Amino acid sequence: MVLFSLICLFAFKAEHTPYNEYYQSSLSRFSTEQEKLLLNIKDADLTTPAGIGVVKTGIKQARLKLKAIDFWLRYLEPVVYKKINGPLPVEWENEVFEKFEKPYKRLGAGLSLAELYLNNKGSDLQKDSLLQLIRISQNALNTYTADSVTSQLKTPDHFFLCNRLYLLNLAAIYTTGFECPDNGNIIPELKVMMQDVRKIYASFGQSFPGAKLSDDYLELYARAMTFVNVQPDDFEQFDHFTFLKEYVNPLFAINQRLIRQYNVISVSFNDYTLNNSCNSIFDKSLYTPQNSMGIYSLIEDTAVLSEIRAVGKLLFYDPLLSGNNSRTCVSCHKSKEYFTDTAMATSFNFDHIHFLPRNTPSLVNVIYNHLLMLDGRHISLQNQAKDVMTNPAEMGGKKEDIMDKILSCKEYKTAFRKFLKYTPEEKEITFDHIASAITYYYKDFSGYYSPFDDAMNQNRPLSPDARKGFNLFMSKAQCATCHYVPQFNGVPPPYIGSEFEVIGVPADISYSKLSEDSGRYKINTAYETMNAFRTGNLRNLEYTKPYMHNGVFTTLDQVIDFYDAGGGTGKKLSVPNQSLSTDSLKLTATEKKELLSFLHSLNEAVIFENPPGSLPVSSRKELNSRRVGGDY
């Protein structure tokens, strides 16, 4: 009985910490605001500008209350969050721990979509549809008062992980207009959100005195708020660069330190790829990329690993991997051209007459994509490598044939026999041993940094034009709503999924028609995925022309012009499901120049090794006339 009372007392106490109370009351404030909004909509005459204005004001008010709790909502139940503030009506997701499964369809609802609906529907506006978008959000909010969620609030762990995601979002999306249809509200909302998060910090500090945010964190956060408060409300005038460099990134480093110090334990998939020992958002260890080791994953012996790498390098340059003993990986991924082919829109087919449908991607930074190929058809680097070798249009080899040829070389055979001992689950040398050696070799291409990273990580100077260009990138040019900090690829925080977008790339430079490649649709047949492609990485752009999935653009000016016009739709092509804004960006010539200057600051100091001097000798004499790197 005494025990029971004690348990009750304890439970009672835990429910009523200042922190928990602040959580519950903040949730109620948002809920009340949404109730008001629902009444507003019911009463409003949506055929008049005044009526629409009333609803818009209601949405604006509700958004502020949402921003006050975004810190928790986005982390604690990320899937449910899409019903409260979804960026798109329909999203197809395939996250890193679910790569083996089919993409999930997620329906969005909530304030952003309601606002877009209000802006875009014109005379078709249906009150019921608008009400429904808010009702779904209001219902979804109940999830956050369920025991399964609130029980996490009883220990400090979730707080530092929520905070990490909050900081990553400050870096990548909160200042860019992602999930905020009215650009005028972005910075005002940011100002309010930062104040409200400080209230969360305060109530947390009261309830968990043993696991406080450190003084240096709170002091820097206060300075960040001061900085933001004196910034202009126009997100185009906001100094994104300084905000990220001087405030958000150092706050992230302190929060990471606290995660380690307090031995924070995650119970959320949000943290699946994030690395607790990383101290900068622009450190390439921020999130776990593709597994490049494949079958060799469990090997720790560095001497053996460097032997595997050396064999991988030989294979990368060895024509034996192809069906005609002349094509190699470097035929298309040229080692002097950032491992892409800058001379051709798309590479030659294996027959050397036709062309492949898609541009050769650079292998630099390819490991930071959770799904591979522009349609995301492969979930691992090894599967992708095996596909290229055996694809009749690419290297045209046959698995058994390649194995025979490789193992006819004594040097390879000895090496793979040795590696076999380290993979006891395999009875014999397999195709995976070959593919994994290649991927293990080329992952090193992704380990380099750019002047922009150096500015963020090491306080190196960055040219004023590049800084202005970054601020444009994050605001007016609308690049950052799809190319996320820090990789500038389609992987948004918390870096567990790759995104696809429909931008309406033309088949030719004269925009006579839309490219016929259906893209992601080939893998996941849905209206939204027609002509969708995985968002590309913007690092090393200067050296990786031509651009787009079909290599249609040969200069970055053409690319910027395409986006400036509003993508395919802006260029008068019919792209009914375009996910890119169809409005013109109205960039000036100076702005375009600054944007280019920023993009050039993403050129990485990649060190290109020389090709191997020679290739292993085969016991089959006819194979020994092959050349290092082969022919095309």
Residues that bind other proteins (CB under 8 A): 97, 99-100, 263, 265-269, 271-272, 276, 291, 293-295, 297-298, 379-380, 382, 424-426
Is the CB of 204 or the CB of 296 nearer to other proteins?
Answer: 296
In the complex, least distance from residue 421 CB atom to other proteins, rounded to whole angstroms: 11
The number of helix segments (H) and strand segments (E) in the chain equals: 23, 4
Residue 380, C-beta contacts closer than 8 angstroms, at least 6 positions apart = 290, 291, 294, 372
- What is the Cα–Cα distance from 448 to 215, expressed in whole angstroms? 34
In the complex, least distance from residue 467 CB atom to other proteins, rounded to whole angstroms: 35
Question: In the chain, what are the helix, strand and coil shares in percent, each to the nearest 5?
Answer: 55, 5, 40
In the complex, least distance from residue 307 CB atom to other proteins, rounded to whole angstroms: 19
- What is the Cα–Cα distance from 259 to 159, expressed in whole angstroms? 10
Distances (CA, A) of 526 to 199, 256, 567, 577: 43, 39, 21, 11
In the complex, least distance from residue 417 CB atom to other proteins, rounded to whole angstroms: 18
Is the CB of 9 or the CB of 265 nearer to other proteins?
Answer: 265
Which residue's structure tokens are 């429904």? 132
Is the CB of 296 or the CB of 598 nearer to other proteins?
Answer: 296
Quick check: bond before 546 cis, omega within 30?
yes
In the complex, least distance from residue 266 CB atom to other proteins, rounded to whole angstroms: 6
Sign of CA dihedral 202, 204, 207, 210: negative
Is the CB of 77 or the CB of 115 nearer to other proteins?
Answer: 77
Quick check: bond before 486 cis, omega within 30?
yes
* Neighbour tally for 499: CB within 10 Å: 21
Is the CB of 123 or the CB of 263 nearer to other proteins?
Answer: 263
End-to-end CA distance of the chain: 82
In the complex, least distance from residue 594 CB atom to other proteins, rounded to whole angstroms: 40
Is the CB of 124 or the CB of 425 nearer to other proteins?
Answer: 425
Is the CB of 259 or the CB of 623 nearer to other proteins?
Answer: 259
Is the CB of 85 or the CB of 273 nearer to other proteins?
Answer: 273
- What is the Cα–Cα distance from 492 to 286, expressed in whole angstroms? 12
Is the CB of 279 or the CB of 291 nearer to other proteins?
Answer: 291
Q: Which helix (H) or strand (E) holds 255?
A: helix 249-261
Q: Whose CA is closest to 514, among 585, 569, 556, 580?
A: 569
Helices (H), ranges, 347-429: 381-390, 399-407, 410-421
Sign of CA dihedral 542, 546, 549, 552: positive
In the complex, least distance from residue 275 CB atom to other proteins, rounded to whole angstroms: 9
In the complex, least distance from residue 380 CB atom to other proteins, rounded to whole angstroms: 7
Q: How far is residue 429 CA from its own chain's centroid?
A: 36
In the complex, least distance from residue 298 CB atom to other proteins, rounded to whole angstroms: 6
Q: How far is residue 352 CA from its own chain's centroid?
A: 35
Is the CB of 99 or the CB of 571 nearer to other proteins?
Answer: 99
